[in-house]
């Protein structure tokens, strides 16, 4: 299980500056979700990707990176590894390909369940052992058949209808869109977790869009209902909601 955060801003910024002082409480969640941290930043001309198998709250590299990496969008991930999946840099999120980046919270069962749906070209770029990376490569496979939004939507609907999972909560970003998937089984959560563990909330104002997992102060943020895809147009700042 993991914690997710994404943003898309009008002007280049860092995550702490854009999110505000409560980001410190989000970072504290990495003491539980402690197996790795990763950051993908859209700097306007490409994606800077940094990830390592460390606890973010205890990592000097993380503190330096989160304050120094500026961009107009980004994905931040704290990993709590699923049983049996190694804690390595390669298995840390985000996963990135060209200008597309992805993060996921949850597990598909069995972990390799999507492998047969991934094109051979994308299987060749696989670097780790996780279901999350296969999830990303499957999204890329569908995107390549059509376009970004159609491919993502088609893949998510197929997973929902035909596969077993605890959660496929995820965020995927390219230069035009930030897509957030809220799709999870509330009963299949950590035994210690509260009832809102899988919930995702967002904030939209004149500066841009932020979305994140629960477990820290999000007063005034709007809930994304379960079984819904939220599409944020990074150019027009418009939102579209797609029911699953």
**pTM for the full predicted model:** 0.97
Residue 168: is its pLDDT beyond 90? yes
Reported as a single tens digit per residue, the pLDDT across 94-127 is 999 999 999 999 999 999 999 999 999 999 999 9
Q: Which CATH number do you get for residue 165?
A: 3.60.20.10
| Structural domain harbouring 176 | 2-243
Are 2 and 55 within 8 A, CB to CB?
Answer: no
What is the structure's pLDDT at 211? 98
**pLDDT tens digit sequence for 34-58:** 999 999 999 999 999 999 999 999 9
pLDDT at 192 > cutoff 80: no
Q: In total, how many domains does the chain have?
A: 1
**Cα 225 from Cα 244, distance rounded (Å):** 10
Q: Could you count the other beta carbons within 10 Å of the beta carbon of residue 150? A: 12
């Amino acid at each position: 299980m993991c914690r997710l955060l994404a943003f898309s801003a009008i002007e280049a910024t860092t995550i702490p500056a854009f999110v505000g002082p409560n980001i410190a409480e989000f970072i504290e969640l990495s003491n539980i979700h402690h197996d790795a941290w990763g950051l993908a930043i859209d700097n306007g001309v490409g994606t800077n990707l940094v990830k390592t198998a460390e606890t973010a709250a205890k990592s000097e590299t993380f503190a330096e990176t989160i304050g120094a990496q500026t961009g107009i969008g980004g994905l931040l991930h704290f990993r709590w590894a699923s049983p049996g999946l190694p804690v390595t840099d390669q298995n840390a999120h985000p996963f990135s390909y060209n200008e597309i980046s992805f993060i996921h919270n949850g597990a598909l069962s069995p972990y390799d369940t999507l492998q047969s749906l991934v094109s051979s070209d994308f299987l060749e770029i696989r670097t780790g052992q996780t279901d999350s990376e296969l999830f990303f490569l499957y999204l890329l496979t569908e995107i390549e058949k059509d376009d970004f939004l159609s491919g993502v939507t088609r893949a998510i609907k197929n997973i929902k209808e035909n596969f077993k999972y605890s959660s496929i909560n995820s965020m995927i970003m390219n230069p035009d869109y930030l897509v957030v998937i809220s799709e999870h089984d509330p009963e299949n959560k950590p035994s210690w977790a509260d009832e809102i563990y899988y919930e995702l909330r967002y904030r939209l104002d004149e500066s841009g869009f932020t979305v994140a997992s629960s477990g820290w102060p999000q007063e005034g943020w709007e809930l994304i209902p379960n079984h819904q895809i939220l599409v944020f147009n990074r150019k027009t700042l418009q939102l579209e909601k797609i029911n699953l």
